[in-house]
Amino acid sequence: MYEDHIIVLYYIISNRIINLAKDTNDVCLSPYCIKAANYLLESIDETIDPCEDFYQFACGTWLKNTRIPPEIKDTNDVCLSPYCIKAANYLLESIDETINPCEDFYQFACGTWLKNTRIPPENGKHRSISRLTIRLENALVDFFSSSPPPPLNDIVESKVIINARRLYASCMNENTIEIEDINVILSLVKKEFGGWPVLEGLTWNESTFDLSRLTLKLNQYNSFILYTIKSVADDKNSSVRSIQVDLSNRRENLMHFLKGTEVYRAYYEFFNNLTRALTNDTSTIDDDILALKSFELEIMQNMYKHDKLSFKDIVRTTVGNLSHTMNSDFTNQLRRLYLFGNVSLVDTDIVTVYAPKVLLDIMSIIDQQSPRT
């Protein structure tokens, strides 16, 4: 129903992050934020004075351009389920009715919530959804720490739940963690990722390095820092899934280059101390850190040479035609990645690529590095 739009707009405004340590006027320029902003801006009717009719101002163009399906006869249906009533009550309790919405809509919509909310000392920010997150986390802890229920009518817990319980138990077994120390992690790095040159020093064997395999493994562990590949609900047809290729939020890990000399030095000092604590062979650490600095700096410089339009660029294509946007190597890599999950992609599968020019430049920089870097 069209009322959803004003609710979404209200929700976005009322959930602005309260951040004591950060400038709340920071502008998000990720493809997702830009897409969301465009959607809202295209819905606004600027011919309407928001102080006279905020609803028409916020949703006017959307209302004009949206056709209500014939099967929906009454667009004014009111949801009276317990969930809807609770949600509406929560929103109403957040409002400060002493504030004129035409003068300060944010304080009007969120004023009471701001007065009644205390930011936990361990958090730098807090928002309304944080309460739901805490409740969800507590529920998960109770669930995974409880004993599995007995089988009912030959129905047992799924493999996913069993593995999640096992993972939680291993994380909570502090005695075993202390006994195993870092050996488990180092073994994982060696077996799964082919070792870490900075820890192995001169003994690292460059001939065994396989960038394609390493990229697949990092994606499999959801730890590839520069871009992500995932299955999502398709933008044009939410009943089907499509593949999304996008710049990773983890690229923010490179932002130490822009935060001043002290942050820059602290980052590499931490890296230096960490690697020296994990290995006895420190002969190549200094050279490896210099190579890492050069590589990360080149990535950052490349990102900032692109104009904002490059980051807004979105290409919707298929697996069969993906090589026209990226390259054949990337298409093969994508197919191999999904095979890890026993999924065979077909040429007609939909792929949405965000900022393809930026991604291609990043891949080119990676290809130019030495295997050790």
Which three-class secondary structure state does DSSP give residue 188?
helix
Q: Residue 317: what pLDDT?
A: 93
For residues 128 and 221, membership in a common domain is answered with: no
For residues 216 and 357, membership in a common domain is answered with: yes
CA 357 to centroid of chain Cα atoms: 20
DSSP character string of 269-333 = HHHHHHHHHH-S--TTHHHHHHHHHHHHHHHHHHHHHS-HHHHH-EEEEETTTHHHHS-HHHHHH
Between the CA of residue 118 and those of 109, 113, 124, 128, what are the distances in Å? Answer: 18, 10, 11, 11
Which three-class secondary structure state does DSSP give residue 104?
coil
- Does some domain include residue 139? no
DSSP character string of 327-351 = -HHHHHHHHHHHHTTT----TT-EE
Q: 79 lies in which domain range?
A: 3-133
At 231, list the tokens: 């299955």
Between CA 342 and CA 124 the distance in angstroms is 41
Helix (H) or strand (E) holding 365: helix 356-368
Q: Residue 226: what pLDDT?
A: 79
Between CA 46 and CA 59 the distance in angstroms is 10
- Does some domain include residue 178? no
At 224, list the tokens: 């590839």
Mean pLDDT, to the nearest integer, of 235-262? 76
Q: Residue 291: what pLDDT?
A: 92
For residues 247 and 129, membership in a common domain is answered with: no
- Does some domain include residue 149? no
Q: Residue 320: what pLDDT?
A: 94
**Last residue of a domain, which of 133, 165, 197?**
133
**CB–CB of 215/226 below 8 Å?**
no
Position 38 pLDDT exceeds 90? no
- Does some domain include residue 164? no
20-24, 74-78, 133-137, 252-256, range with greatest mean pLDDT = 133-137
For residues 123 and 265, membership in a common domain is answered with: no
**Last residue of a domain, which of 103, 133, 163?**
133
**Last residue of a domain, which of 100, 133, 166?**
133
For residues 212 and 128, membership in a common domain is answered with: no
Residue 14: which pLDDT band, with cuts at 50, 70 and 90? Answer: very low
- Does some domain include residue 150? no
Mean pLDDT, to the nearest integer, of 299-328? 84
Which has the minimum average pLDDT: 94-103, 142-151, 328-337?
142-151
**CB–CB of 325/359 below 8 Å?**
no
- Does some domain include residue 203? no
Percent of the chain with pLDDT over 70: 85
Q: Residue 28: what pLDDT?
A: 66
Position 76 pLDDT exceeds 70? no
How many domains in the chain? 2
Model pLDDT for residues 165-212, shown as the tens digit of each residue: 999 999 999 998 888 888 888 888 888 888 899 998 888 888 888 888
For residues 241 and 325, membership in a common domain is answered with: yes
- Does some domain include residue 347? yes
Q: Could you tell me the sign of the dihedral formed by the alpha carbons of 202, 206, 210, 215, in that order?
A: positive
**CB–CB of 293/373 below 8 Å?**
no
**CATH number for the domain harbouring residue 247:** 1.10.1380.10
For residues 124 and 221, membership in a common domain is answered with: no
Position 349 pLDDT exceeds 90? yes
Which has the minimum average pLDDT: 74-83, 139-148, 193-202, 312-321?
74-83
Which residue is listed with tokens 């004591």?
20
Position 314 pLDDT exceeds 80? yes
Residue 286: which pLDDT band, with cuts at 50, 70 and 90? Answer: very high
- Does some domain include residue 220? yes
For residues 337 and 251, membership in a common domain is answered with: yes
For residues 122 and 259, membership in a common domain is answered with: no
Measured from the Cβ of residue 30, the count of other Cβ atoms closer than 10 Å reads: 16
Between CA 14 and CA 54 the distance in angstroms is 15
17-26, 48-57, 135-144, 152-161, range with greatest mean pLDDT = 135-144
Q: Residue 13: what pLDDT?
A: 42
Q: Residue 345: what pLDDT?
A: 94
Position 3 pLDDT exceeds 60? no
Residue 275 carries which side chain, given as an amino acid letter? Answer: T
For residues 118 and 218, membership in a common domain is answered with: no
Model pLDDT for residues 217-226, shown as the tens digit of each residue: 888 887 777 7
